With several copies, the nearest count.
Chain A
Amino acid sequence: MISFALTEEQTQVRDTLLSFATSELATRARSADEARLSPSELLDTAWSLGFTALSIPEDCGGGGAPRSLVTSALMLEALGYGCAGLASAAFASMLFVNPLIDLGSEEQRLRYLPEFCGEKRRAASLALHEGAPAFDPARMATRAMRDGKGWVLTGTKRLVPMGEHASRLLVLARASDAPGLAGIRAFIVDSDATGVTIARDSGTLGLTAAGFARVELAQVRVPADDVLGDGEGADIRPLLASLRIGGAALAVGLARAVIDFAIPYAKERVAFGEPIARKQSIAFMLADMHIECEAMRWMVWKAAAEADAGRDAAKASVLAQDYVNRHAVRIADDGLQIFGGHGYIRDLPPEMWLRNMRVLTSHDAIAAA
């Protein structure tokens, strides 16, 4: 049956993270953006919430909560409301953990997941993007060549969130000549393996707190059983769907923050004798922002619910991502516009939100739902 109702657990998780987002993330967003760094005490606090291990199976030491992309989307929306940059830094490990839960072999789960269930923060990430313009996952240049029983990875990955801090990486590479995405596999790579060089990447427009790294893979040997999944490795399409949903969910949260910040300003700011919110041009802009933010959320929920129902979420997640990408930037941009010149100054968040939103809607591997 069709329903928009959250479970009690979902409401609770969302509320907890919303409170964390407003009290811990939002307050540090500007300083982290300027410093291009997430403060480690904050990352520790985030870790202590225990959400990374929440859905790790009990036999791996985790919370054993059933995986739900709807729940993840709710969490990410709440976090994005506070600060998408700090959120992506604090929860980058999920880019590694969630695919392991969903697609890893029993043996891989038992080998790699327990280390994410401790009290000590453990960073990991996922490497998707590459340097060529118009990057297309189906046409990626990073290669995994068969070498005896194992694999050899070669290529350069860019814009890897928290890459410098990650102890483990999930690296996407072309592993066969199968056309398009069918030939792509994910590999579990130790960040201090021979041939791996990780360095801070060039600066980015936004999400600077996410600590983007460049990962060079020079003939990196990976054992046969470190291709994600059993045997020849799992189809990565569900992983891509989870990434689309994750990024879009953060964008919904950020969009909501933009609107909630713009509304009181528009009601207070007086021009030509009355609050600008009483001008239809501003009022209708806010109405459109609200309309699209709602629609964006339902698109994310729909895609997430498809996955939760055990159906292929590829199409629904592409539609959600496409929809969110087209509307979220507009919301952030209109948010800045409502503040006029004040929106252009780095004293207030709108300009940062525009930059962050732009990154969220261009980068395909910021968060895994």
Chain B
Amino acid sequence: MVDFSLSDFDRAVLDGVAAEARVGEKYARYYDEHEDEVLPKSFPEAAQFPPIQQRLRGRPRDDTPMLLLQVLMRIEREAHCGVPLRQAPTALGNAALGAAGTDAQKARWGNLMLAMSITEPGAGSDTKAIQTTARLDGEEWVLNGDKIFVTNGVRCDGAIVWATVDKSAGRGGIKSFLVLKGTPGFELVRKEKKLGIRSSDTAAYAFRDCRIPRDHLIGGDEGVPRGEGEGSASYKGVLKTFNMTRPFVAAGGVGKAIGAFRVARDELAKEGIAVDFDDSRHARSATAQTLLELEADIEAATLTVMHAAWLASDGMPNNLEASVAKAKGGEVCRTGPQRAMDALGAMGLSHDYQVEQYLRDGRIADIYEGTGQIQRLVIAREILGYSSAELT
């Protein structure tokens, strides 16, 4: 049955997440202004909040699907302008290892924090264009190339690195490898200075004749499939995780828009500017109308994110819907804080309010894990029935 109600249990979980996120706000400006500092593994206030697994204990099985709840948790978290009280022990690379690694690899590296290293200076969304090479030399792979935009690339223990073992094979030649920090030839070139999300580190890597053991190939399959549209198992395994990461990234964007919206709504209410839903637009002020439209847009984006997650939780294909969610989430975090700022007026520019940080932090959501343009390409191909060669 179509339902958008949360059980009391889930409401409490989300309230807890929100309360924890709210406490993290006190550190937001500091880490925004001190981007060179790495966040501690946990802040003292973390003790007030039991770990999420503990809070989820005893949750009824027939409640809202877990994946969907996780998306909502992400929204709650990002709807606050704060830093996490506890740093996650894992990063994107862990998800890739979980999706494509062999059992032995999972057992061996599962407890490490692993970043994901795909993007190169000349290859963003176009993963086929990857230039980093991996050459088998005896029982070792030799990696050469440059990587950028590695999220958690500074604090991680190692990274899952995409490299091609055979450029002529296109996607089929792309494999992923585990490279541990400290491996000779693996250099952390720099930590990027960013517009926002400064408490999250972003690294650039260089690999110069970096030698890793042969069994560090994720998934272990050394075969190179041929043909357009093909990809190795590890390549495809990693791509598959994106069907779920896209809704999560979108949720982050939605959360940032919500955070900015709430500041504007609450501050404007103090000035007597609020939306009366019984009013027509002829009676409502332009600023109140901006709040109304923004709230509608946030709601719409939230629902597309929920829908994509709900499909995934039910084991249904969601490639199209994940891109719809990402497109909407990316859009609302671009326009949402902007419109909250329009409503607030000039003081919205000031550090007095957090809207400017929501704007900066949220701006990434329409870029990473595939820009809004890439999502539209995916959506257009799906609805038109075109292959990636037919619509470029």
Contacts and interface: CB of A to CB of B under 8 A. Distances in A.
Interface stretch (B85-93, B109-117, B269-277): B269-277
A347 B192 CA distance: 8
Contacts of A206: 349
A193 interface: no
Interface stretch (A76-84, A87-95, A128-136): A128-136
Contacts of A280: 377, 380, 391
B334 interface: yes
A305 B126 CA distance: 41
Interface string A262-289: 0100110011110001111111101110
A291 B296 contact: no
A84 to B, nearest CB: 13
A284 B331 CA distance: 14
Nearest to A294: B324
Q: Report the contact-size class of chain B (Cβ under 8 Å from the partner).
A: 35 or more
B62 interface: yes
Nearest to B32: A203
A345 B201 CA distance: 12
B339 to A, nearest CB: 10
B347 A158 contact: yes
Contacts of A259: 383
B56 interface: no
B282 A134 contact: yes
Interface in B334-389: 334, 338, 341-352, 356, 359-360, 363-364, 366-368, 371-373, 376-377, 379-380, 383-386
Nearest to B371: A340
Interface in B69-88: none
A319 B295 contact: yes
Interface stretch (A38-46, A104-112, A358-366): A358-366
Nearest to A350: B195
A206 to B, nearest CB: 7
Interface size class of A (residues with CB under 8 A): 35 or more
B379 A337 contact: no
Given A205-B356, A291-B327, A263 B303 contact: no
Given A129-B346, A180-B278, A322-B296, A340 B124 contact: yes
A355 to B, nearest CB: 8
Most buried by B among A4, A10, A359: A4
A136 B279 CA distance: 8
Contact of B195 (A203, A290, A295, A344): A344
Interface string B288-303: 0000110111011101
Given A129-B346, A337-B366, A359-B349, A137 B376 contact: no
B92 to A, nearest CB: 15
A242 B209 CA distance: 62
Contacts of B342: 325, 362
A299 B299 contact: yes
Given A305-B4, A344-B194, A323 B297 contact: yes
Interface string A316-331: 0011101101100100
Contact of B345 (A6, A135, A323): A135
Contact of A281 (B65, B366, B367, B373): B373
Interface stretch (B39-47, B157-165, B230-238, B304-312): B304-312
A95 to B, nearest CB: 15
Q: Counting chain B CB atoms within 10 Å of each CB, which of A280, A344, A351 scores highest?
A: A344
Nearest to A322: B296
A181 B4 CA distance: 27
A204 interface: yes
B258 interface: no
A354 B372 CA distance: 18
A282 B379 CA distance: 12
B2 interface: yes
A365 to B, nearest CB: 9
A272 B392 contact: yes
A298 B367 contact: no
Contacts of A347: 192-193
B28 to A, nearest CB: 13
Contacts of B268: 133-134
A203 B367 CA distance: 26
A351 B379 contact: no
A54 interface: no
A60 B373 CA distance: 55
Given A138-B278, A277-B384, A337-B371, A159 B346 contact: yes
B2 A3 contact: yes
Interface string A134-158: 1111110000000000000000001
A5 B2 contact: yes
B144 interface: no
A359 B273 CA distance: 22
A136 B391 contact: no
B3 A291 contact: no
B129 interface: yes
A197 B103 CA distance: 68
B349 A204 contact: yes
A347 B328 CA distance: 28
Given A135-B280, A295-B328, A341-B148, 20 more contacts: A1-B7, A2-B68, A129-B346, A134-B271, A134-B344, A136-B283, A202-B351, A281-B376, A287-B379, A299-B296, A322-B292, A322-B296, A336-B363, A337-B367, A337-B372, A340-B124, A340-B367, A340-B371, A345-B192, A354-B195
5 contacts: A129-B346, A134-B345, A204-B349, A259-B383, A295-B300
Interface of A: 1-7, 10, 70, 129, 131-139, 158-159, 180-181, 201-206, 237, 259, 263, 266-267, 270-273, 277-284, 286-288, 290-291, 294-296, 298-299, 301-302, 304-306, 308-309, 314-315, 318-320, 322-323, 325-326, 329, 333, 336-337, 340-341, 343-347, 351, 354-355, 358-359, 362-364
* 7 A-B pairs closest in CB distance: A298-B303, A283-B380, A205-B356, A136-B280, A351-B195, A203-B351, A295-B300
Interface of B: 1-7, 10, 62-65, 68, 119, 122-126, 128-129, 148-149, 192-196, 264, 267-268, 270-271, 273, 277-280, 282-283, 287, 292-293, 295-297, 299-301, 303-304, 306-307, 310-311, 321, 324, 327-328, 334, 338, 341-352, 356, 359-360, 363-364, 366-368, 371-373, 376-377, 379-380, 383-386, 390-392
